[in-house]
Amino acid sequence: MYSTRLDTYGCGCSHDCSYCYAKSLLDFRKLWNPQEPKVANLMAIENKLKKIEPGTILRLGGMTDCMQPCELKYRNTYKTIQLLNKYKIGYLIVTKSSLIAKDEYINILDRDLAYIQISITSTSDEISKKYEKSSVASQRIKAVEKLQKLGFDVQLRLSPFIEEWIDYQKLNEIKCDKIIVEFLRVNTFIKRWLDIDYSKFTLKQSNYYHLPLEEKIRMISNIKNFKEMSICEDVTEHYNFWKEHINYNKNDCCNLKK
């Protein structure tokens, strides 16, 4: 869903998350540089946007986070949002940063075009600091709640969902109508970087190991108090189950308001 993607920064992300699938794909090719991500050419971005059909929803950030710290210096995402507004192209911002909820960004977000998903992997600031070099979890949660209060189409994204990092009581107290869940997928590189128990990852598909469906169902049964839930899924059979039984919008697993 929403396969049209644009990276405002590339070949590296300073968040450098231990579980990052993009990092696992690029690192062994020597294309991953978290210290100095490449800054996309803004003129080239605009030339691409001119060719996109109005009404398209474009995802900002496919391989890297569009709101990573270098955004404070280069403002590439800020300027790209202004271009997207100009060409009336919808944009889905998926980020592990609280920066998107700063007033300077809120002031340029077009409520008819902007969709925001802010990810957490843990409800603990200490855990998030250990495995991610992004805003701590509590800052991201505050950003979600601020955007919710202001009436934006915002979702809490639990991605990846690693149960031992989640306090369900804290999770269920977050003031947001919508949640989207993405389970961890595991390959050799992620196992090397992330020290968790992998014994339940017994299902293999497309070169990744996944949790069995029964385990996933048990885990999401503890998520409550959100009005709308969706599951972002790679395993084909599991995707079909979520579509029929769980996803709020059966035709859009991202559950964007249109």
Our count of domains for the chain comes to 1
In a domain, 244, yes or no: no
DSSP for 75-111, written as a single string: -HHHHHHHHHHHTT-EEEEEES-SGGGSHHHHTT--T
Helix (H) or strand (E) holding 146: helix 137-149
Whether residue 116 lies inside any domain: the answer is: yes
Residue of 171, 162, 183, 167 whose CA lies nearest to 226: 171
The answer to whether residue 203 is domain-embedded is no
pLDDT given at position 15: 75
Range of the structural domain that residue 129 is part of: 5-184
The verdict on residue 218 lying in a domain is no
CATH number of the domain within which 100 lies:
3.20.20.70
Residue 110 placed within a domain:
yes
pLDDT digits 0-9 by tens, 146-175: 999 999 999 999 999 999 999 999 999 999
Q: For residue range 207-218, what is the model confidence (pLDDT) as tens digits? A: 899 999 999 999
Tell me if 209 is assigned to some domain. no
CA distance 133 to 35: 11
Rounded to whole angstroms, how far apart are CA atoms 11 and 27?
A: 9
The label of the residue with tokens 């803004």 reads 42
Which tens digit of pLDDT belongs to each residue from 73-100? 999 999 999 999 999 999 999 999 999 9
Residue 192 domain-assigned (yes or no):
no
Q: What is each CA distance from 249 to 235, 252, 254, 255, in whole angstroms? A: 18, 5, 8, 6
**pTM exceeds cut of 0.85:** yes
Read off the pLDDT of each residue in 68-76 and give the average, rounded to a whole number. 93
Would you state the pLDDT for residue 178?
98
Q: Which two tokens stand for residue 109?
A: 């977000």
Reported confidence tier of residue 17, pLDDT bands at 50, 70, 90:
confident
Q: Is residue 140 part of a domain?
A: yes
